[in-house]
A and B are shown apart, each in its own frame.
Chain A
Amino acid sequence: MESTLTPRTAGEVRDAVAWAVSAREPLRVIGGGTKASVAPPIQTGHTLTLAGLSGIVAYEPEELVLTLKPGTPMAEVTAALDEANQMLAFEPPSFAPLLGSSGTATFGGTFGTNFAGPRRLTAGAVRDHMLGVEAVSGRGETFKAGGRVVKNVTGYDLARALAGSWGTLAVATLLTVKVLPRPETEATVVLDGLAAEAAVGAMAQAMGSSADVSGAAHLPADVAAIVPDAKGAATLLRLEGFGPSVASRRAMLEGLLKSHGPRLLEREASAALWPKVRDATPFVGTDGAVWRCSVAPTMGPRVAAALPTGSRVMFDWAGGLLLVETPAVGDAGAAALREAIRRAGGGHATLLRAPPAVRAAVPTFQPTATGIAALAGRLRQAFDPEGILNPGQLGR
């Protein structure tokens, strides 16, 4: 039997999970499904989609709080925030073009993956902005944690902890997230032609200054075509805020990095460029496998150096986030990449995109460290003792 369950209320989500528990039938839990190809295939015929559980329930710009159902399309969220000059500060990527998926990205999928964009460097990831959750556990029981206020330490911080759990612990039915004012303006200082090591050094210098940089990325020459007037590699430093402040910080940053010959992208060019960094646009429509890796920023170039020939890499988060395209053959560089990350003091690599043959050979998620595996098993037991929700995700 194959089925797609599209509950429209939290009660129906609970009924669906309770049925799956009683029938011992695993559920593939998705939002809009735009990132579903990232997750390893699950041996089940039953999909629980949250697309039917949609809508903004409460939005109070002056409280900086947004409460919504998980199936709410990201476009609807963005539109509502735009109207009040606010934003999700974690700058969620739109990976649908990269992954070649159709469908509508939802807030639930953003929550479940904890994927954040360039501003994560200073503003935090999805989890940093989560305030409250109502959910159905893999036991088929409804529970809530956190609340609807921006400062709350009442009980374990499950709203944050469930972010990035890939739907393996519980199915969210209502989410509250902190929102922030959108910057009045932005500009990007560009340094041309730096090698990765030098670029990471310049980015560290900028991040350590009081220029309050909100995005720091380095694009080697083979991915720099998205930068206007690129001359070889491009190192990008974004400034956001009120007009007079951006102007003053820009002058300060240009002074600080004078030896690298900085040039400026004004507001429109800057605003057009960063979404392409965020969404790994240089890798859209290519044949390669795509990885998303996080390491200590200064270790970025070292990890990149271990990649197989023919790889391309974009450095974000001042060098700490590597969006990598590798030839989609063999293990697509998995062993070399994960070993380099281990040697770099730790971090992780997630396989975002790969043909089925590579997928079959390579764990999508960073394998869980031995010491933590047993604890992770007990945590799963605490939420989903029958292993109903998204089995196979997150290295399980």
Chain B
Amino acid sequence: MSSLAMPAPEAATLARRAEIVAALRAIVPGEGTVDHETGMRPYETDGLTAYRQMPFVVVLPETVEQVAAVLRYCHENNIRVVPRGAGTSLSGGALPLADAVLLSMMRFNRILDIDFDNRTATVQPGVTNLAVTQAVAHAGFYYAPDPSSQIACSIGGNVAENSGGVHCLKYGLTTNNVLGLEVVTIEGEVLRFGGKHLDQEGYDWLAFMVGSEGLLGVVTEVTVRILRSPETARAVLIGFPDAEDAGRCVAAIIAAGIIPGGMEMMDRPAIHAAEDFVHAGYPRDVDALLIVELDGPQVEVDHLLGEVERIGRAHGATHCRVSESEEERATFWAGRKAAFPAVGRISPDYMCMDGTIPRRELPTVLKRMAELSQKHGLRVANVFHAGDGNLHPLILFDANEPGELDRAEAFGADILRLCVEVGGCLTGEHGVGVEKRDLMDAMFSEDDLKQQQRVKCAFDAGHLLNPGKVFPTLHRCAELGRMHVHHGQLPFPDIPRF
């Protein structure tokens, strides 16, 4: 395991383990409370497997009352809690702590209400992303955000991470598709935000909750909007000898007023790895490959495919192929979707980064990334949600080679700093978690982070929920609340007053 400073375990908690386990078992009896090593082993890591920690105890509640009772007990006894959905986080959002109750929400697996007239689905947080779509597909509807882990990842986890996916340029992130939440606070209070109506009253609690990475409350119910599935979808592969031209092509497509359902880019190493793995028919003699998918009514899709093809050719595309069948469309995507495992085949280990950049900076970033690759002595392959500028560099390394994991981490940190430097951000969709926690000061000042932590204090003044995630330094809420009042005169007296 690589070095990562987590909050020091509370000795008082560790010393009371038997008593705490018994108290939790009284709330969640039977197999709902797990305290033996073999039972807890599956929870020691999440999708970011470089970090592992055995939980203190695992609790799997089934009812809102149980969740509230567990949190109330933990609050009263000053015990930390790490909430967990399906455990697919790529940023270590569900990494356990040695002294924290691991609260798994995966028994909350029921679909509660489907309302086609209001176009909403209300589900428990342990329901998988794909299961929401499956529950409404018979009526021609779907749930739009589709992170690549959608078979496994839970809606509760999607809410915590504000998950995206390849379709989010057109259809939005999780935050744009959540209408209501039921949330249990660390005090064990059950609150409801929003509902089936648009725009909640008062403060935008949904905006605070979605993407809060399990630091503000535990979600027990989610109401999402569902959409009518597009009539049809077709994809086009466009290959460019020069990545810069591919970038300009993407800009030109958007400038033409076209927002594709999906617009993905791969660089040469990623194209080759994917093509070797799934034989998707990708051209090998190009530096950048675009997959542009258009969805909607048949007439619109046909019309826009023509436009996109024309724009591609005008920007120097040497390869252009439109899918002529559903099978062919699936094949185009198969390569992109298999990009991560494909890279896994050509390297013992890889690390997936997740920065966002202004698209115009792509050529600069690719060039500087190549330089960084030289500097760190590690290869990198790039897949890119080109429409929204979300870059996923895959750093290739071998964890069994001494020092390579550290070099890969240093390379990754350099890439993310580069993203921030060109006007982007540390994470587009994977979350900060523990992975990017210590890079937060590359993007935010001390004052920025303190104001964010004051929000945390409004929800969880004791820092009991998921501590050690998102924020590099934990400030006590009392300290954050202190005001330094400067007694001064009315400022800028030269300004006109009426």
Contact = CB atoms under 8 A, between A and B. Distances in A.
A345 B194 CA distance: 10
Nearest to B470: A155
Interface in B19-59: none
B485 interface: yes
Contacts of A155: 432, 440, 443-444, 448-449, 452, 470
A292 B205 CA distance: 20
Q: Could you say which of A62, A114, A120 has the most chain B C-beta atoms within 10 Å of its C-beta?
A: A62
Nearest to A184: B257
Q: Could you say which of A5, A244, A372 has the most chain B C-beta atoms within 10 Å of its C-beta?
A: A372
Contact of B491 (A16, A182, A204, A365): A16
B126 interface: no
Interface of A: 2-8, 12, 15-16, 18-19, 21-23, 60-65, 84-85, 114, 116, 120-121, 124-125, 127-128, 137, 139-145, 147-158, 160-161, 163-165, 169, 180-184, 201, 204, 207-210, 212, 241-242, 244-245, 247-249, 252, 294-298, 317, 320-321, 345-348, 365-366, 368-369, 371-372, 375-376, 378-379, 381-383, 385-386, 394-395
Contact of B297 (A4, A158, A252): A252
Q: Could you say which of B229, B259, B427, B455 has the most chain A C-beta atoms within 10 Å of its C-beta?
A: B455
Given A147-B443, A244-B303, A156 B259 contact: no
Interface of B: 115-120, 139-141, 161-162, 164, 168-169, 172-173, 175-176, 185, 189-193, 195-205, 207-208, 210-212, 228-231, 251-252, 254-259, 296-300, 303-304, 356-360, 385, 388-390, 423-432, 436, 440, 443-445, 447-452, 454-459, 470, 481, 483, 485-492, 495-498
A368 B192 CA distance: 12
Given A371-B190, A379-B203, A157 B297 contact: no
Contact of B195 (A22, A201, A212, A345): A345
A182 B257 contact: yes
B455 A382 contact: yes
Contacts of B251: 62
A21 B488 CA distance: 10
B455 A164 contact: no
A368 B444 CA distance: 32
Contacts of A141: 447, 451
A15 B228 CA distance: 50
Contact of B173 (A144, A151, A247, A249): A151
Contacts of B258: 181
A160 B205 CA distance: 10
Given A3-B497, A127-B204, A183-B257, 6 more contacts: A23-B490, A154-B440, A204-B116, A245-B297, A294-B198, A348-B202
22 contacts: A22-B488, A61-B255, A62-B252, A65-B358, A114-B204, A147-B423, A147-B425, A156-B455, A157-B208, A160-B175, A181-B257, A201-B117, A210-B230, A245-B296, A248-B297, A294-B197, A295-B197, A296-B195, A346-B192, A375-B185, A381-B481, A382-B458
Nearest to A245: B300
Contacts of A169: 203
Contacts of A210: 140, 228-231, 296-297
Contact of A15 (B296, B299, B436, B492): B492
Contacts of B140: 208, 210
Given A141-B451, A245-B300, A252-B297, A154 B432 contact: yes
Contacts of B257: 85, 181-184, 242
Contacts of A244: 299-300, 303
A345 B140 CA distance: 26
Nearest to A144: B448
Contact of B204 (A160, A184, A209): A160
A145 B198 contact: no
A341 to B, nearest CB: 9
A184 B256 CA distance: 10
Contacts of B358: 60, 63, 65, 148-149
A149 B357 contact: yes
The interface residues of chain A, by DSSP majority, are classed as: mixed
A252 B168 CA distance: 26
B271 to A, nearest CB: 23
Contacts of B425: 147, 149, 152, 154
Contacts of B298: 248
Q: Could you say which of B257, B304, B452, B488 has the most chain A C-beta atoms within 10 Å of its C-beta?
A: B257
A209 B141 CA distance: 9
Contacts of A142: 447
Nearest to B498: A4
Contacts of B444: 144, 154-155
Contact of B452 (A3, A145, A245, A295): A145
Nearest to A241: B300
A296 B118 contact: yes
Q: Could you say which of B230, B251, B431, B492 has the most chain A C-beta atoms within 10 Å of its C-beta?
A: B492
Given A149-B424, A372-B191, A375-B458, A212 B199 contact: no
Nearest to B226: A208
B169 A15 contact: no
A386 B118 CA distance: 41
A147 B457 CA distance: 23
Contacts of A204: 116-119
Contacts of B389: 63, 149-151
Given A157-B208, A161-B208, A242 B452 contact: no
B440 A6 contact: no
A12 B492 contact: yes
B199 A294 contact: yes
A390 B114 CA distance: 40
Q: Could you say which of A16, A150, A182, A247 has the most chain B C-beta atoms within 10 Å of its C-beta?
A: A150
A384 B357 CA distance: 33
Given A155-B452, A157-B162, A294-B197, A394 B203 contact: yes
B197 A296 contact: yes
A368 B193 CA distance: 11
Given A22-B486, A158-B452, A153 B199 contact: no
B491 A153 contact: no
Which 3 residue pairs across A and B have the least CB separation, nearest first?
A245-B300, A348-B201, A181-B257
B430 A153 contact: yes
Given A143-B448, A152-B425, A161-B203, A207 B119 contact: yes
